[in-house]
Structures are given as structure tokens and as C-alpha cells.
């Protein structure tokens, strides 16, 4: 299916279009943050300690007097960056491992799948916390930790797809023409697996956003970069939450939910479109 056909079907999918709109809104928020946000988010003002929402500060201010609306707007950046980057790492790893495991079979398959099982069984968040605590909480580290620990579901899915693809006659055809294993894996198998991975990748982004927010909230991520998780972290540590300052907590929480929802809807629509059996005519 080419792009034109895909778009035509996608346009009519309400979930997909809805999800896409949500994501686009946040993308615009992130890209144009300096122009949209009313204040420099790092501009402190000790007089405005945890002030309530007002005309000047629609979302109020935090314990340093920084404008929360601006912080919330800038927070979209880290969420999106980490979301895409960590998902990319996880999907690429999942693809590689899934294809190699599925196509080569035998001992390689056994070993790789046992490793995958290991990661599937361990509570990833706990492991993420431990590793992040050990290697240090920089942005790059967070991306890698999330990516490195969320590839197993993708790998499993890719592997089962590869198991069926490798029985198709065109693979034998390639072998009969002297194609080597690596060639077949990356020229024949990979392109046929990628469409399926699309839906999965979108959901991986959603997962990564959530993981990042969780890590930072728990104090393990980099708490100097502005992100929604970080805002929530300080909402708790500054006592704002226990004081009942809902305006500190609700916006970043809602934004996290909305952004994740956007990707989930998009991923759901991809699944529907790429798997014709799920499609409702």
C-alpha cells in the first residue's frame, strides 16, 4: 500500500485523525514554545511563591515563582524528544533482534528469546530506576534506559511475523538466486515487517513518554530539564500537592495523559488500517 492510498483510508479513521490532531497540537506547542509561552520559564520571582492562578499567571506559579503555564508549555519538548528517541531505540532493537531471531532460528533464536523472556518478566520500571540510579540521570541515559528495556514486546511480535514470512515462496526464490542470509533478512524480510511495526512503534512512543514522566517524577531522571514529570515531582516535593494546589498538578498530568492518548489513538488507527480484517468498511 503506498502513501496516497494510506492517507485516503487514514483520513476517514476518526481515531487516527483525532490522535494526529492532538499530537500536532503538542508538536506546535513544543516547537513554538518560546513564542507561545508568556514568560521565560526559568524566570524566578520569589514574591510569587506557589501563587494561585491569576490573570497574569493562568496556571499560577511554582515554589520559585516561575510561571507554571510557561513551564507546562516547555515541558512538551522533553516529553516528545524522549518519546520519539526512546521509542526509536526500542523499535530498532526490537526489529533487529526479532528479525535475526526469527530468521536464523536454532540456537540463536533460543538464546535471544530467553533474553527477551527475561526482560518481559522483570518489572521494567523498577529496573529502569535501578539502572538510571547507577549510570546517572542525564537525558541521554534516560533515553537509552527506556529504549533498552522496552524492546521485548516489539521483538516478539516481529519474530512471529518473520517466522511466517520466511516460509513464503519469494524467500526461497531469493535463495535460489544466490541471495545470502543477511541480504534476505534486510532486503526481503525487513520491508515486509516494517508496516506492522508502525502501529507498535506508535504505542512504543506512548509508553516511552509515560516511562520518562514516571522516572523523573520519582526523582531518577534529570530534574533540571523542564518536563511534565519534573513539574509533578516538584509539585510533590514543594508541598504544593499536600496543600491542595490543584493548578500545579492537574495541567502537567492532563498533558501527559492527552499526549499519550494521542499516540495510542494513532497507533490504534494504524493497526486497523494495516490489518484489513480489523477495518470497518
Note the residues at the interface with other proteins (CB under 8 A). Answer: 1-2, 8-9, 168-170, 172-179, 183, 188, 191-192, 281
Q: How far is the C-alpha of 112 from the C-alpha of 106, rounded, in Å?
A: 10
Nearer to other proteins, 188 or 233 (CB): 188
Helices (H) and strands (E) in the chain, counts: 13, 0
- How many CB atoms lie under 10 A from the CB of residue 4? 7
Let me know the angle formed at the C-alpha of 248 by 245 and 253, rounded to the nearest 5 degrees. Answer: 120
Nearer to other proteins, 2 or 47 (CB): 2
Nearer to other proteins, 118 or 170 (CB): 170
Q: How far is the C-alpha of 253 from the C-alpha of 19, rounded, in Å?
A: 18
Q: How far is the CB of 203 from other proteins (least distance, A)?
A: 23
Q: How far is the CB of 13 from other proteins (least distance, A)?
A: 13
Q: How far is the CB of 84 from other proteins (least distance, A)?
A: 24
Q: How far is the CB of 192 from other proteins (least distance, A)?
A: 6
- DSSP SS3 for 194: helix
Nearer to other proteins, 8 or 52 (CB): 8
Nearer to other proteins, 9 or 163 (CB): 9
Place of cell 502501529: 199
Q: How far is the CB of 150 from other proteins (least distance, A)?
A: 27
- How many CB atoms lie under 10 A from the CB of residue 52? 13
Amino acid at each position: 500500500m503506498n502513501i496516497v492510498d494510506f492517507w485516503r483510508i487514514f483520513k476517514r479513521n476518526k481515531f487516527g485523525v483525532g490522535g494526529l490532531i492532538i499530537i500536532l497540537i503538542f508538536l506546535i506547542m513544543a516547537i513554538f514554545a518560546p513564542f507561545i509561552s508568556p514568560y521565560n520559564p526559568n524566570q524566578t520571582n520569589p514574591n510569587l511563591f506557589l501563587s494561585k492562578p491569576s490573570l497574569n499567571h493562568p496556571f499560577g506559579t511554582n515554589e520559585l515563582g516561575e510561571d507554571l503555564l510557561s513551564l507546562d508549555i516547555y515541558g512538551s519538548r522533553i516529553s516528545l524528544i524522549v518519546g520519539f528517541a526512546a521509542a526509536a531505540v526500542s523499535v530498532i532493537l526490537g526489529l533487529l533482534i526479532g528479525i535475526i531471531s526469527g530468521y536464523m532460528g536454532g540456537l540463536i533464536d533460543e538464546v535471544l528469546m530467553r533474553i527477551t523472556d527475561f526482560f518481559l518478566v522483570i518489572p521494567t520500571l523498577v529496573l529502569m530506576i535501578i539502572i538510571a540510579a547507577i549510570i546517572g540521570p542525564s537525558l541521554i541515559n534516560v533515553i537509552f534506559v527506556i529504549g533498552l528495556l522496552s524492546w521485548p514486546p516489539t521483538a516478539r511480535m516481529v519474530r512471529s511475523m518473520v517466522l511466517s514470512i520466511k516460509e513464503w515462496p519469494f524467500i526461497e526464490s531469493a535463495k535460489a538466486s544466490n541471495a545470502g542470509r543477511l541480504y534476505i533478512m534486510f532486503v526481503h524480510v525487513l520491508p515486509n515487517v516494517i508496516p506492522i511495526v508502525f502501529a507498535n512503534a506508535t504505542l512504543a512512543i506512548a509508553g516511552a513518554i509515560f516511562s520518562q514522566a514516571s522516572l523523573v517524577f520519582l526523582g531518577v531522571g534529570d530534574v533540571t530539564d523542564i518536563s511534565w514529570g519534573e513539574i509533578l515531582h516538584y509539585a510533590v516535593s514543594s508541598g504544593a500537592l499536600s496543600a491542595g494546589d490543584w493548578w500545579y498538578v492537574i495541567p502537567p498530568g492532563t498533558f501527559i495523559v492527552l499526549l499519550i492518548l494521542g499516540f495510542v489513538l494513532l497507533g490504534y488507527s494504524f493497526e486497523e488500517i494495516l490489518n484489513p480484517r480489523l477495518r470497518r468498511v
